[in-house]
Amino acid sequence: MRALLFLLTILCLASCKNETQTVAEDTTPETSTAFESLADSTLIMPGEEHFKSIYQVTFGGDNAEAYWSFDDKKLIFQSNNTAWDVKCDQMFLMDLGEEFKDQRPPLVSTGKGRTTCSYFLPDNEHVIYASTHLEMEVCPDAPLRENGKYVWPIYDSYDIFVADLEGNITAQLTNEKGYDAEPTVSPQGDKIVFTSDRSGDLELYTMDLDGSNVKQITFELGYDGGAFFSPDGSQIIFRSSRPKTEEEIKEYKDLLANGLVQPTEMELYICNADGSDLRQLTNLGNANWSPFFFPDGKRVLFSSNFEAERGFPFNLYMINTDGTGLKRVTAGETFDAFPVFSNNGKYLAFSSNRNNGGGRDTNLFIAEWQD
């Protein structure tokens, strides 16, 4: 549940590497050639100086949360593209340098229930993702408003699973009553961080790759989610909406009791991987979310609408981990979010409403990054 499509659909999709121990293989010449053949300079907007080249991967539906394999050769992402014969978000696999205009990528999830937040395991042959399919095979309802306000469903039927790249589930990592989702893996290949409401609140937890050694690492009232490890695995960046006033606290608790959150006010927080040294990184107002560390571990890329007067647009921004150096990266008028660097730092996957003909489709893009 890491969020999408304007503030409306971001609340629907739900908002998920190692410089010292593993070095991602360089992109093969074949992949580079394929990237160059797909690149379209018209997709880069004036002022987007960090995009050297860019290509569009998907062409319909809502496509988001594309995460790289540890060797940077593949990505796993979620989509609800009805042309791919799915009713709601499911997980699909792609190679770097592919696009999907006239064909469907391989389906990795079961095709049942609703899924979210997939991530590769270090062997590059398995992924984790959250799914509701054990409780029901059909798509659960996705409420978007409560008392006229945008809300985001927290399905208590979500659990976290391991699957191979053929879509066979090989393990179930969580089996607690309630919401367990938003898992991502440390670049060190030893830990998973995820969000759960097993304590009665939406907090961050870590566990080993086999689901053992579960530890709660955040403890303050409010929604904590969309967490990612730093490249050396020592820190975690996440988004949080933490109510302060009595009115805000009551509203938060009432919504959570009904399986909902209202994450329209979110800031970014950083802590050590064990939850210690927690500090707030941003204080910008509005929704600041989908953060991801730069490969140097000293900067963070994230999506925000803090400059917007009416909730839009969402653009990508960068900021140093000490809170300095805030800079806008994209120049869209609608929606850019879910930025994720490849492990070698060459490429950036992100989702955007650009080039969608003025409709609501949110598509996946891959850009060559330049500092």
Which of 107-121, 139-153, 214-228, 232-246 shows the lowest mean pLDDT across its residues? Answer: 139-153
Q: How is residue 315 written in tokens?
A: 């653009």
pLDDT of residue 12: 40
- Burial of 42: CB neighbours in 10 Å, binned 0-12, 13-18, 19+: exposed
Q: What is the DSSP letter of 42?
A: G
Q: What is the reported pTM?
A: 0.92
pLDDT of residue 30: 63
Return the percentage of the chain with pLDDT > 70, whole number.
90
Contact 216, 204 (CB under 8 A): yes
Residue 262 bridge partners (DSSP): none
pLDDT of residue 264: 83
The residues near 59 (Cβ < 8 Å, ≥ 6 apart) are: 99, 100, 101, 361, 363
pLDDT of residue 36: 78
pLDDT in tens, 252-307: 999 999 999 998 899 999 999 999 999 999 999 999 999 999 999 999 999 999 99
pLDDT of residue 242: 95
pLDDT in tens, 107-127: 999 999 999 999 999 999 999
What number is the average pLDDT over the span 16-23?
39
Q: Closest by alpha carbon to 16, among 229, 288, 261?
A: 229
The rounded distance, in Å, linking the Cα atoms of 263 and 225 is 10
Q: Closest by alpha carbon to 260, among 88, 148, 145?
A: 145
The pLDDT confidence band at residue 311, using thresholds 50, 70 and 90, is confident
Q: Which run of H or of E encompasses 9?
A: helix 6-13
Query: Can you tell me whether residue 315 is helix, strand or coil?
Result: strand
Provide φ and ψ at 350, rounded to 5°: -155, 165
pLDDT of residue 14: 43
pLDDT of residue 121: 98
pLDDT in tens, 90-103: 999 999 999 999 99
- Residue with the larger pLDDT of the pair 295 and 3: 295
pLDDT in tens, 32-45: 666 778 988 999 99
Between CA 60 and CA 64, with CA 62 as vertex, the angle to 5 degrees is 120
Q: Please give the mean pLDDT across all residues of the chain.
A: 91
Report DSSP letters for 50-73, one per residue: TEEEEEE-B-SSBEEEEEE-TTSS
> In this structure, which topology does domain 6-33+59-328 adopt according to CATH?
Neuraminidase (2.120.10)
What number is the average pLDDT over the span 351-358?
94
Q: How is residue 205 written in tokens?
A: 């937890």
pLDDT of residue 309: 83
Whether pLDDT at 228 is above 70: yes
Between CA 339 and CA 348, with CA 342 as vertex, the angle to 5 degrees is 40
The rounded distance, in Å, linking the Cα atoms of 209 and 216 is 16
Return the percentage of the chain with pLDDT > 90, whole number.
82
Give long-range contacts, CB 8 A cutoff, 24+ apart: 24-30: 24/70, 24/71, 24/72, 24/342, 24/343, 24/344, 25/71, 25/72, 25/73, 25/344, 26/344, 27/72, 27/96, 27/344, 27/346, 27/347, 30/97
Query: Can you tell me whether residue 91 is helix, strand or coil?
Result: strand
pLDDT in tens, 140-194: 988 777 677 788 899 999 999 999 999 999 999 999 999 999 999 999 999 999 9
Contact 109, 115 (CB under 8 A): yes
Residue the block writes with tokens 């976290």: 160
pLDDT of residue 16: 58
Whether pLDDT at 234 is above 70: yes
Single-letter residue type at 99: E
pLDDT of residue 142: 81
Residue 215 bridge partners (DSSP): 206
Whether pLDDT at 318 is above 90: yes
Q: Closest by alpha carbon to 268, among 294, 247, 242, 250?
A: 242
Whether pLDDT at 250 is above 80: yes
Q: Closest by alpha carbon to 365, among 52, 58, 95, 61?
A: 58
What number is the average pLDDT over the span 306-314?
89
**Distance from CA of residue 220 to its chain's centroid?**
22
The rounded distance, in Å, linking the Cα atoms of 205 and 227 is 10
Other C-beta atoms closer than 10 Å to the C-beta of 102 total: 7
Report DSSP letters for 193-258, one per residue: EEEE-TTSS-EEEEEETTS-S-EE---SSSEEEEEEE-TTSSEEEEEEE---SHHHHHHHHHHHHT
Whether pLDDT at 321 is above 90: yes
Q: How is residue 83 written in tokens?
A: 């042309």
